[in-house]
A and B are shown apart, each in its own frame.
Chain A
Amino acid sequence: QFVLTQPPSASGTPGQRVTISCSSNNSDIGGHYIEWYQQVPGAAPKLLIYRNTQRPSGVPGRFSGSKSGTSSSLAISGLRSEDEADYYCSEWDESLKSVVFGGGTKLTVL
């Protein structure tokens, strides 16, 4: 099973643009997609980005996803205090019919 690697922490000041990376060691990247989830303290995770770049209805346009090869990124522009949360990337492993989560990145808004 492959591994998704995220930095443990990130930070920014209000209004700034912050990016969080997610690196996969899955060489068979093909058409695999990365999802991003936001987990505010004390709450359940929430889907933020699916299929690398798509935003579910209701997710602000300040959040965007990108993917190149085995590296993906979540970008948050116009950082706000309510963006302080843990962010997780994930990838579906079709061969195992399984989901792999990254270790999570704790975003602090200074």
Chain B
Amino acid sequence: EVRLAQSGAEVKKSGESLRISCKASGYNFVNHWIGWVRQVPGQGLEYMGIIYPGDSDTNYSPSFQGQVTISADKSSNTAYLQWTTLKASDTAIYYCARIHGLGNMSFDTWGQGTLVSVFS
């Protein structure tokens, strides 16, 4: 079974750093793009960026370029989303999701989400 298991909820202070994770299982991790999607409570889905774990090729949405870093560790089948300086406006649920591939660019599997709460 294809599965993405995300790390637990985080409560942080503005200015702190943070890395959340997304551990993949049930498929060949290096062969599928993985994306990150933000959802501010009560609002819609926002695409942040994607990474291809096979060669760490990464693309960011212009809205998130320079604000976060997406990375992947092939040895542990884990993708990461990282902030160096959190802001209160980063408070949201963050989802990782796998892109199916082979011409099908849908997010076919989603993690359960990680709630990040940032207070001033």
Contact = CB atoms under 8 A, between A and B. Distances in A.
Interface residues of A, number: 25
A35 B61 contact: no
Main secondary structure of the interface of A (DSSP, over half): strand
Interface-centre pick from A33, A88, A90, A99 (highest chain B CB count, 10 A): A99
Interface string A85-100: 0101010100011111
A67 interface: no
A54 B40 CA distance: 29
A100 B47 contact: yes
A37 B107 CA distance: 9
Given A44-B111, A45-B95, A50-B108, A88 B45 contact: yes
Interface of A: 1, 33, 35, 37, 39, 44-47, 50-51, 56, 86, 88, 90, 92, 96-104
